[in-house]
């Protein structure tokens, strides 16, 4: 388990001022910028295309953690690479060829991650765990911010921690959805080392962001 990093999800930011919002979380001590990409097909919401990511790229030097909720995945990977994504994660259900997609992302020199939905078993990543840089556990169903943390996912985080430690590779274990001060503490205890938070960071206005991020970390 590495030091905890906080990745604010800009899904909860002011979409009319995304550049300033990213600058504000950068100043406030965020470690990564989490970008939720939804296609209105794999998930019932439509959000951020590669052109927007490219425009945002110049507003922060932090790593861009791009969470693709799109199907199919491969045709759009080059566009997000070109837009400046550092980590690219995708859902195995969106496939169709999970290992091929991992290789594709890595062929561009970017870090590759797999996202496990609440009902997706850990066993899905086992055959390719050694090829991954990150595993993202969804603690809500993907599509919207502001949902409640699904308790059953703590056990999955703990089991993944064991699997990663057994492998002995520095694979990030990220959790996304319903992360607040209370659930953050339990995620870290279960073995998570990257926490995504939308609502919990972007609440109270920019002057609160630093305190919100610090509260999640400690
Ligand atoms: C959901 C997204 C999450 C979401 C988190 O599909 O992947 O990143 O924005 O938002 P909160 O922290 O509000 O649950
Ligand atoms: Zn996300």
The pLDDT tens digits for 67-103 are 999 999 999 999 999 999 999 999 999 989 999 999 9
What pLDDT is attached to residue 212? 98
Q: Tell me what pLDDT residue 32 has.
A: 99
- The yes/no answer on whether domain 5-217 falls in CATH 3.20.20.70 is yes
Going from N- to C-terminal start, the domains of the chain cover 5-217
Active site residue 176: yes
Q: Which residue is catalytic, options 39, 65, 133, 176?
A: 176
Is residue 4 within 8 Å of residue 36, measured between CB atoms?
Answer: no
Distance CA(24)–CA(34), nearest Å, equals 14
Q: Is 7 in the pocket of ligand 1 (CB under 6 A)?
A: no
Cβ of 191 closer than 6 Å to ligand 1, yes or no, is no
> Looking at this predicted complex, what is its ipTM?
0.98
Residue 111 and residue 134 in contact, taking contact as beta carbons nearer than 8 Å: yes
Position 137 scores a pLDDT of: 99
Contact 162, 152 (CB under 8 A): no
Residue stretches of the chain with pLDDT short of 50: none
Burial (0-12, 13-18, 19+ Cβ within 10 Å), 86: middle
Contact 54, 83 (CB under 8 A): yes
Q: Cα torsion for 199, 149, 38, 188, to the nearest 10°?
A: 80
Q: Please report the pLDDT score of residue 95 as a whole number.
A: 82
Assigned token pair, 20: 């300033």
pLDDT value of residue 101: 98
Q: Tell me how crowded residue 134 is: count the other CB atoms within 10 A of its CB.
A: 20
132 C-beta neighbours (distance < 10 Å), count: 21
Between CA 16 and CA 38 the distance in angstroms is 18
Task: Determine how many CB atoms are found less than 10 A away from the CB of residue 130.
Answer: 10
Atom of ligand 1 nearest to the CA of 45: 6
User: Alpha-carbon Rg of the chain, whole angstroms?
Assistant: 16
Q: Calculate the CA dihedral of residues 121, 80, 34, 86 and round it to 10 degrees.
A: 90
Which residues lie at CB < 5 A from ion ligand 2?
Answer: 36, 67, 176
Nearest-5° angle of CA 142, CA 146, CA 191?
70
């Amino acid at each position: 388990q590495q030091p905890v990093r906080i990745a604010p999800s800009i899904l909860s930011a002011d979409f009319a001022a995304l550049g300033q919002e990213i600058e504000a979380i950068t100043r406030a001590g965020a470690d990564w910028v989490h970008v939720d990409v939804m296609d209105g097909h794999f998930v019932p919401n439509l959000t951020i295309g590669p052109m927007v990511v490219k425009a945002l790229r110049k507003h922060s030097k932090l790593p861009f953690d791009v969470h693709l909720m799109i199907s199919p995945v491969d045709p759009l990977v080059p566009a997000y690479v070109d837009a400046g994504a550092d980590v690219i994660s995708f859902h195995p259900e969106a496939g169709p060829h999970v290992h091929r997609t991992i290789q594709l992302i890595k062929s561009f020199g970017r870090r590759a991650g797999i996202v496990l939905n609440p009902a997706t078993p850990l066993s899905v990543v086992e055959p390719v765990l050694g090829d991954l840089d990150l595993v993202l556990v969804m603690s809500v169903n993907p599509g919207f911010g502001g949902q409640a943390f699904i308790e059953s996912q703590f056990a999955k985080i703990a089991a993944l921690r064991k699997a990663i430690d057994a492998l002995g590779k520095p694979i990030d274990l990220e959790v996304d959805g319903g992360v607040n001060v209370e659930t953050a503490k339990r995620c870290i205890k279960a073995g998570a080392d990257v926490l995504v938070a939308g609502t919990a960071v972007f609440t109270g206005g920019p002057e609160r962001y630093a305190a919100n991020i610090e509260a999640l970390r400690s």
